[in-house]
Amino acid sequence: MGPRVKPIIASVIGVAVGIFALSQTAPMSELGRVFPTTAGIIAIVGGVALAALTVLRPVPAASLSEPSDVPRVIATCAVLLGWALLLDPLGFIASSGLSIVALALIARREPMGLKSIAIHLAVGAGLVLLFAFLLSQVLNVSLP
């Protein structure tokens, strides 16, 4: 990615969100429209100004390369989303147990011994059960 790409994307986001916000204000009451309109205009103006500055300014030095690991990112996001969606159908304990194992596998870098796997599993299970108990019995939060 060139050094100008990121600010350009950010300015496109600003303009897009701003236009979307403005496009929805028609059915709102006169006073209810003030804030969304103001915020939308700020987003658009900020986006346009950022884009203009980025283009006009001399090309900045390339930013430090950031670590990137696309498969891991996608896997993490997928597990988190799946976890959130499965809370209701599978229940709190089952969905949490599955997702915790999945996340541990994603985060793993070195091979683990059997003993270490056993410890991880035991701690994970203990954590889930502890919180299931804490929430449902102590804090009176009903679990899915």
62-101 binders of other proteins (CB under 8 A): 63-64, 66-69, 72-73, 76-77, 80-81, 83-85, 87-88, 92, 96, 99-101
Interaction with other proteins in 11-50: which residues (CB under 8 A)? 11, 13-14, 17-18, 21, 24, 28-29, 31-36, 38-40, 42-43, 46-47, 49-50
Nearer to other proteins, 64 or 114 (CB): 64
All residues at 6 or more sequence positions from 37 whose CB lies less than 8 Å from its CB, including other chains: 21, 22, 25
Which residue among 55, 118, 129, 141 contacts other proteins (CB under 8 A)?
141
Other CB atoms within a 10 A radius of the CB of residue 33 amount to 16
Least gap, CB of 55 to other proteins (angstroms): 13
Is residue 126 a contact residue for other proteins (CB under 8 A)?
no
CA atoms within 13 A on the CB side of 138: 7
* Sign of the CA dihedral with 126 first, then 102, 96, and 89 last: negative
CA distance 83 to 67: 26
**Which of 106, 105, 97 has its CA nearest to residue 125?**
97
Which residue among 19, 26, 90, 106 contacts other proteins (CB under 8 A)?
106
Which residue among 19, 57, 129, 133 contacts other proteins (CB under 8 A)?
57
